[in-house]
Amino acid sequence: MTIYKRSSALFAKAQQVIPGGVNSPVRAFKAVGGDPIFVKEAKGAYLFDEDGNQLIDYINSWGPMILGHAHPPVVNAVIEKAKKGTSFGMPTEIETDIAALAVSMVPNIDMIRFVNSGTEACMSAVRLARGYTKKDKIIKFAGCYHGHSDSFLIQAGSGAVTFGSPNSPGVTAGTAQDTLLANYNDLENVTEIVNANQGEIACIIIEPVAGNMGCIPPVAGFLEGLRSLCDAHDILLIFDEVMTGFRLAKGGVQELLGVAADIVTFGKVIGGGLPVGAFGARKEIMSHLAPLGPVYQAGTLSGNPLAMAAGLAMLTELNANPEIFESLAAKTAYLHEGMAKVLTAQSVVHTINRLGSMISVHFDKTAVIDFETAANGNNATFKKFFHGMLDQGVYIAPSAFETWFISEALTYEDLDQTIAGVEVVVKGW
Ligand code: KE4
């Protein structure tokens, strides 16, 4: 059993001054038990914790570190930028540079607005959709997580479901009534909801590849069906690509699966590890945003030079080397096959979901295609697996309702070590 004495001591101290000792609930290990690990530093595919343990990282800050931790081009860009000031609250050229690059990489968007988190991006996108369509209701999907804005904390995924409080206190009935809940991968259900709320729905917001109830790809025809439904009923289709954007392909899921969204939200990779969110759409929609149009949205640190420098370095490298996405997908497939072989050999009931460089392991025999089937997973087994893998020097998501994120810094030796670790953990279960 690995010793985490210093992490535990730091956690005890943190809990005195930070609620739950963390600044984001899912880090608290509540779903898997034990004290969270405090990281001292990270480099490439590895985390180095406060007790001197080296861990192979499959979280990568929940997605941003797609090229690995402390990636020199990103770090150097931030260092150089910081020497010239960290924030001005005035427009800077680098904002235009990264905006133009992002718009060139992502289909169906002419313009993009930068904010400071995925939550802000999704919250702003919904307000824009409501302002543009002059309709109030939204459809979201059970188990999808779009950040912690009130309208989204209705059967949310990720940390919200991990805590069994999908409908968070503090969200008013008035807010909740405008959020309609649909089942992921269930087009008939969405159609029923649209027909029952004719003329009232501003947008459908979806994770086009879900990552907050484990990794759940859309079934064939599902996204295409949503597109047709939206076209038939003047509803805007919002792809929440905070996780999938610049990860599954240069142009995200729109490029990978060939379905067009009306508004696309971003986070994580677009900021290269610094706080950046963004949302983009065609000009006709974005021109409704202040100061051009009446839909208000703002932020003191939006587009700040440091975050833009990190994001621009990240997107520049991904744009120039699209073969990275194939390499990531190949590594993820290799990991999938290796883990499946070992788990099957040890007769461990499981399913593994994967798309591109997103993957999740579920300890249940039924296919995981929506929130309900994701919730069937055996959490006791997951907890055992999580801590076992930790003892093998492998850090996976501390919740069954999360996706693992593969980074390009992971080598096939790291993958082999991970697969070997799985075999040690499940042997004799
Ligand atoms: P942030 O506000 O955390 O930057 O982004 C919210 C968000 C929006 N949309 C999707 C699809 C997301 O996955 C997220 C955030 N993802 C979680 C991980 N499942 C962030 C981790 C955390 O909450 O600490």
Q: What mean pLDDT do residues 129-157 have? A: 93
Atom number, ligand 1, closest to the C-alpha of residue 117: 4
| Catalytic-role residue among 132, 145, 184, 395 | 145
End-to-end CA distance of the chain: 17
The H-or-E segment that residue 238 falls in is strand 236-240
Average predicted confidence (pLDDT) for the chain? 96
Residue at 143: amino acid letter: G
| Distance between CA atoms of residues 140 and 183, nearest Å | 9
- 3-state helix, strand and coil shares in percent for the chain, rounded to the nearest 5: 40, 15, 40
* Residue 46 a catalytic site member: no
Contact 358, 405 (CB under 8 A): yes
Phi-psi region of 330 (alpha: psi -120 to 50; beta: other; left: phi over 0): alpha
| Domains 5-70+323-427 and 72-320 belong to one CATH topology | no
Q: CB of 66 closer than 6 A to ligand 1?
A: no
Q: CB of 267 closer than 6 A to ligand 1?
A: yes
CA 282 to ligand 1 center in whole angstroms: 24
Q: Which CATH architecture has domain 72-320?
A: 3-Layer(aba) Sandwich (3.40)
Atom number, ligand 1, closest to the C-alpha of residue 158: 19
Q: What mean pLDDT do residues 136-143 have? A: 96
Question: Has residue 170 got a pLDDT over 70?
Answer: yes
Contact 123, 276 (CB under 8 A): no
Q: Phi first, then psi: give them for residue 264, nearest 5 degrees.
A: -125, 135
Q: What mean pLDDT do residues 244-257 have? A: 98
The full set of domain ranges for the chain reads 5-70+323-427, 72-320
Q: What angle do CA 346, 412, 425 make, to 5 degrees?
A: 25
Q: What is the CB neighbour count within 10 angstroms for residue 134?
A: 7
Among 59, 60, 140, 145, say which to mutate for ligand 1: greatest number of ligand atoms within 8 Å of CB.
145
CATH assignment, 5-70+323-427? 3.90.1150.10
Q: Label residue 155 by pLDDT band (50, 70, 90).
A: confident
Q: pTM higher than 0.85 for the full model? A: yes
Question: Has residue 27 got a pLDDT over 80?
Answer: yes
